[in-house]
Structure 1
């Protein structure tokens, strides 16, 4: 998995790097899930021919769902609304503060 440089800091060890990669991935998945919910209303409406969508067309619903999921993931990986970046930044900051408290005793 490629970690976008704008979301990751430079961890000191391989264990920290894996934790950071998992954090980035989880934050991007969270943002993608939120974006998918925002994209859902675009699935329901009219088809490309201008007629009403048929409720019985389960195939279209499934493909549309996969399409919005893929779109949401791509948007999130590309920076999205910045939610993933903010989550990573906040959690990384909190980790650093806890680490500093352990080493300094404050």
Structure 2
């Protein structure tokens, strides 16, 4: 999300860098929230082979990494719109100051 003007002045490269950092942080925040929402879906999974072996730490790690990848992909492609709202609110607050 880019802003044409900030506080009625032209956008500088520093402003663009700040905006890019804000967008990245907001996207990461949304991905973390999505990952938390996906956690309950992992709880009911059986092991990799369909066995009910939940003692395998490797399978837990792979499942967690898979959920993280899915959450990041969802957030990167628009997600629930949380990142956009965060960007909008932070930008609004910074324009006030």
Structure 1-normalised TM-score? 0.77
Aligned pairs for 1:16-27 within 5 A: 16-27=15-26
Q: What's the CA shift for 1:58?
A: 1.0
Aligned pairs for 1:12-91 within 5 A: 12-47=11-46, 51-52=51-52, 54-91=53-90
Name the SS of the counterpart of 1:15 in structure 2. Answer: helix
Q: What's the CA shift for 1:45?
A: 1.2
Between the aligned partners of 1:8 and 1:73, the Cα distance in structure 2 is 21
Which is bigger in relative contact order (C-alpha 8 A, separation at least 6)? 2
Name 2:4's counterpart in structure 1: 10
- Structure 1: 5+ residue runs without aligned partners? 1-6, 99-106
Between the aligned partners of 1:60 and 1:14, the Cα distance in structure 2 is 45
Name the SS of the counterpart of 1:85 in structure 2. Answer: helix
- Structure 2: 5+ residue runs without aligned partners? 6-10
Name the SS of the counterpart of 1:63 in structure 2. Answer: helix
Structure with greater strand percent? 2
